[in-house]
Amino acid sequence: MTPPLSHRTKLGYGAADWGLAAVESMVQIYLFKFYNVVVGLPALYTGLALALAIVWDAITDPLMGGISDRSRWSGGRRRPYLLPGAALLAVSFIWIFNPPPLDSNAARFAFLLISFILLNTAMTVVGVPHSALGSELSFDRDQRTQLFAYKRLFGTVGALVGLWLPGLILIQMDGHADPTGAQARDLASWWLAAPIVLGAWITVRATRGLDRPADHAQPKKSLHLWRLFADQRSTWANPFFRVLLLAFLVATIGRTFNASTALYYYEYRLQLTEQETIGWILLPFFLSFLASLPGWIWAARRWGKKTAGVIGVCGLGVSTAVAYPLFPIGELAAPLLYALVGGGLAGAVVLLDALVADTIDYDKLKTGLDREGLYFGVWRMGTKLARALGLGLNGVSLWLIGFSAASATQTPETSWRLALLFGPMVGILFFGAGLILWRLPLTDERHQRIQRLLRRRRQRLHISQGD
């Protein structure tokens, strides 16, 4: 049996995700519109720069996973990367929301591309080892679900802060001193820098002694790039991971498109102010998401992780497709009500994170290797490729529907097309992800059988070492 982890350890493990989520929240909600409307880079070029940076960064995720798998630091394989990565993340986060005066679209494009590459690389250095560490802290199915729920808990709080802080600063300015929101984004990035590093430090302290020590790690191998890329391809041989990753990629495209289009939809379709959108729609959505996590953990135990995940993702897809085109213009009640419903359904995403660790057990059974870093690296690579596609799709879509950043109001046709993008288009992606997840062949019974075989192998290994 796996010794139970203390709540202090579980909470401490999740703390590093606070900073990652705060950065990602601000980036997903504000960055596209910030460079499009405030900096003045056309939507098509903004989407292209963000997509290219994420594609480049996606390549580094499995490489970082392979590097951490092979690392032999005295403090473990994962923890030594967290603090340096968090420091780089804090600096690059400030930089991207404080661009210098740029006179041409080419200069704006280049600055956004380079700064976003730097920021995402820092997130990789923190995120991949942190996720892999969570998979290794416990072999027990329920404890793994709890670990990733704590991780998601801190991530949701961080996302709330990343969403809410710029809006709060803007409200304090009363919107007059900062009509575009540029100063609010600037100040928010500075205020969040220190807590980003603090969260990583808490995780490093709380998991001390629990990171796999160097002398228990798999045999040291040279870090040839060709070998790391070959290892990445081998993850596709895992039929459970392959289906789960595909479902998550489709859902991530929908989530990214939804997040980067949200401020456009609420401002130009529903004619709500940014303060109303943040305070009465996006904030309740995240609070509902947070409150739903215990319920989804219970549902996973009752019905299984896969079934509960399918219910949540498919329900989110259907309701998104139907609801958003029907909301009356200028009213808050209907979108507020759906924010509470949609946030609760979106909480099912925590089950997908927990399922990744379960699919890795199959790889351990087949190969005898501990490759959590590689798998979570490939997982994050896929996530970023999907985000790149979602952001690029957003830029192309806004261009195709005739959106004009120079105009405070849009034509009725453009307004209606925004509703279709934000509703049915996103909803179809979520529903499709749920259908793919339903095809996942990893049932709870099959995973329990895999874990029994792994326990027997470990027991035989201990007996042989004792002899």
pLDDT (0 to 100) of residue 23:
94
CA nearest neighbour of 438 among 247, 257, 208, 273: 247
Strand partners of residue 76: 73
Domain with 104, as residue range(s), is 7-210+233-466
In a domain, 222, yes or no: no
What is the percent of the chain with per-residue pLDDT over 70, rounded to a whole number?
91
In a domain, 2, yes or no: no
Task: Answer whether 372's CB lies under 8 Å from 135's CB.
Answer: yes
pLDDT (0 to 100) of residue 1:
47
Count of structural domains, the chain: 1
pLDDT (0 to 100) of residue 243:
94
pTM for this entry: 0.71
pLDDT, tens only, 388-402 = 788 788 888 988 998
Mean pLDDT score of the chain = 85
Strand partners of residue 73: 76
Alpha carbon 223 to its chain centroid, in Å, reads: 27
Q: Is the pLDDT of residue 217 over 50?
A: no
pLDDT (0 to 100) of residue 230:
57
Q: How confident is the model at residue 409 (pLDDT cuts 50, 70, 90)?
A: confident
Q: 209-218, 246-255, 256-265: which range is least confident on average?
A: 209-218
pLDDT, tens only, 355-400 = 888 888 898 888 887 777 778 778 877 887 887 788 788 888 988 9
DSSP letter for each residue of 65-130: HHHHHH--BTTBSSGGGHHHHHHHHHHHHHHHTSPPP--SHHHHHHHHHHHHHHHHHHHHHHHHHH
Q: How confident is the model at residue 260 (pLDDT cuts 50, 70, 90)?
A: confident
In a domain, 187, yes or no: yes
Q: How confident is the model at residue 413 (pLDDT cuts 50, 70, 90)?
A: very high
pLDDT (0 to 100) of residue 337:
95
What is the percent of the chain with per-residue pLDDT over 90, rounded to a whole number?
37
In a domain, 224, yes or no: no
Q: How confident is the model at residue 205 (pLDDT cuts 50, 70, 90)?
A: very high
In a domain, 221, yes or no: no
Give the CATH number for residue 25. Answer: 1.20.1250.20
pLDDT (0 to 100) of residue 283:
83
* Cα(159)–Cα(338) distance, integer angstroms: 19
pLDDT (0 to 100) of residue 178:
58
**Which pair of tokens denotes residue 171?**
């409200």
pLDDT, tens only, 271-317 = 998 778 888 898 898 889 888 988 998 998 889 889 999 999 999 99
Q: How confident is the model at residue 466 (pLDDT cuts 50, 70, 90)?
A: low
Maximal CA-CA distance, the chain: 79
| Average pLDDT of the residues in 52-63 | 79
In a domain, 218, yes or no: no
CA nearest neighbour of 383 among 102, 120, 130: 120
pLDDT (0 to 100) of residue 463:
66
Q: Is the pLDDT of residue 222 over 60?
A: no
In a domain, 216, yes or no: no
Three-state DSSP class for 300? Answer: helix
pLDDT (0 to 100) of residue 228:
55
In a domain, 113, yes or no: yes
* Cα(431)–Cα(315) distance, integer angstroms: 7
pLDDT (0 to 100) of residue 467:
47
Q: Is the pLDDT of residue 136 over 90?
A: no
Q: 226-235, 341-350, 414-423, 431-440: which range is least confident on average?
A: 226-235
pLDDT (0 to 100) of residue 318:
96
pLDDT, tens only, 70-128 = 777 777 888 899 999 999 999 999 999 999 988 899 999 999 999 999 998 999 999 88
Q: How confident is the model at residue 465 (pLDDT cuts 50, 70, 90)?
A: low
